[in-house]
Chain A
Amino acid sequence: MDAIIKLKNLNVWYGENHVLKNINLEFYEKKITAIVGPSGCGKSTLLKTMNRLIELTENAKVSGEVLYRDINIYDPDVNVIEVRRRIGIVFQKTTPLPMSIYDNVAYGPRLHGISDKRTLDEIVKNSLIKVGLWDEVRHRLKDSAFNLSLGQQQRLAIARTISINPEVILMDEPTSALDPVSSMKIENLMKEFKNDYTIILVTHNLNQAKRVSDFTAFIYYGEIIEYNITDKIFREPEKKLTMQYMRGIVF
């Protein structure tokens, strides 16, 4: 199996606070890897290091390597915009950009130089079809994206992410703000997307990790405790701490 992203000795500090400690991890191509662990233990930070979005956080410091197809994305000559095009992210909070539904999806492609109307129409349509939103919004593409329901907004966010053809999609608790039906839709999308994308999913919903992921990493206060095939880590975890977390004994 090929690893598309490899983390090597990755450390992150927020000021004096050492939030990620010596992380070594490999993510496999076209698989879903879940990252589970208690709140505030560095899961989201880990995701943000993988497309350099962490650089928006003012006092964050990163050391170590994030290799994407064996290129360290923190190398000075790496183009951060290209990194973010290939490694997209979906956030926990559904955030439509303050524009129409159409423009939300077309914004990414436009940033990357596509201006031909017909090409954009095609991209918008295909992206919305892929997330199952096309039939719901095809007649109101010019509407503000804020008029959509939360579940629809999150699928729009996914459409926006895939509009620029990423290889990897990072998902930061994408369903935690949604109702069960909308969550289910997103989970089904993840399973469908496995053929085309590598998905790295941060979740604190263990059942979700069990349902959708191929691999699971358990992170506890900045350290990777265990990383294995999802089936294995849930059925027979090797570490005591993992077992305790899975059973809800430690939080």
Chain B
Amino acid sequence: MVENMLKASVNPCIKFDMKSTIFIIPIVIVIGVLVYILSLIILGGLKALNLDLLFTSIMYGGIFEAIIGTFLLLVGTSILALPISIATAIYLTEYAPKGGKTVKIIEQSIDNLAGLPSIVVGLFGYEFFVKMLGFGVSLLSGWLTLLIMVIPIVTKATKEAILMVPEEFRKVASALGATKWDIIRDIILPISMPGIASGIILGMARISGETAAILFTACTLTARGIPATPLEPIISLSYYLFVVIFTSPGSAYTKAYALATILMSITVSLYSIAIVVRFHYRKRKRW
């Protein structure tokens, strides 16, 4: 009797094993492809990468301007995105009539904005910022174009962080005589800060490798070095990678791998920081 039961409980396990094998195959394929790509790029990159390359001007075969260009793009866009996104999120969660039409329209627009193909955003940036507003192909035009892609990400993250603030805090603070603005400033924003931070980092990760949006708005292959003002064009890592592959497919391959490795490590580390911030925030939460 007992043996029969044991057998009965063993058999399904064997069947289940076969099923799970079927499910494992695609996972192995996905992970295998990822590992292959990473090792190909990193191995290729390591051969070319050295400090000299990082700190030598493009004119002398380095990639220094591209690193600075990407850095300037990320920092500038984030600084511009923060106040706009936070203000939008606060309006949506605190001031706009709840469930009203305005909120729905704004939220829908933000979602649509997030889904726009980057080349389309780039085309808009070229028409509007570069030509119409006359900023030319410049760092400034690049910031504003990337802003369109970053605002939805940061706004959404901020909104979610604000919505997680417990209602009780508002009740208690109001009872002490706090105005809506007092509550936003003293309670909601400080509590939401980690969520907002992980949002802005995710936004930076999203645009760090962006090429299409800055292709005609911010970048030219110049020999002018680092831009002195935001109205000058830049060279970014992704753009330079594009140029390297496009202009000399054969000879500059090692440089392309070096660029790809740097670009990838920037993106991966930004995502990792965002995950760590979020994890830390969840653990610390007490209410």
Contacts and interface: CB of A to CB of B under 8 A. Distances in A.
Interface in A84-102: 84-85, 88-89, 91, 93, 95, 97-98
Nearest to B178: A111
A164 B177 contact: yes
Nearest to B286: A146
Contact of B175 (A53, A58, A112): A53
Given A58-B98, A144-B286, A95 B168 contact: yes
A84 B170 CA distance: 14
A95 B167 CA distance: 10
Contact of B287 (A58, A98, A157): A98
A72 to B, nearest CB: 19
A53 B286 contact: no
Nearest to B99: A58
A98 B191 contact: yes
Contacts of A97: 169, 172-173, 187
B174 A84 contact: yes
A53 B174 contact: yes
Contacts of B170: 56
B32 interface: no
A174 to B, nearest CB: 13
Interface in B60-105: 98
Assign chain A's interface to a size class.
20 to 34
B171 interface: yes
Interface in A132-161: 144, 146, 157, 160-161
A91 B174 contact: no
A112 B190 contact: no
Given A58-B98, A97-B169, A98-B169, A84 B176 contact: yes
B121 to A, nearest CB: 38
Contact of A85 (B168, B177, B179, B182): B177
B177 A112 contact: yes
A213 interface: no
**Which 5 pairs between the two chains have the least Cβ-Cβ distance?**
A108-B176, A95-B168, A81-B177, A146-B286, A84-B177
Given A53-B174, A53-B175, A85-B177, 5 more contacts: A107-B173, A107-B186, A144-B286, A157-B172, A164-B177
Interface of A: 51, 53, 56, 58, 81-82, 84-85, 88-89, 91, 93, 95, 97-98, 107-108, 111-112, 144, 146, 157, 160-161, 164
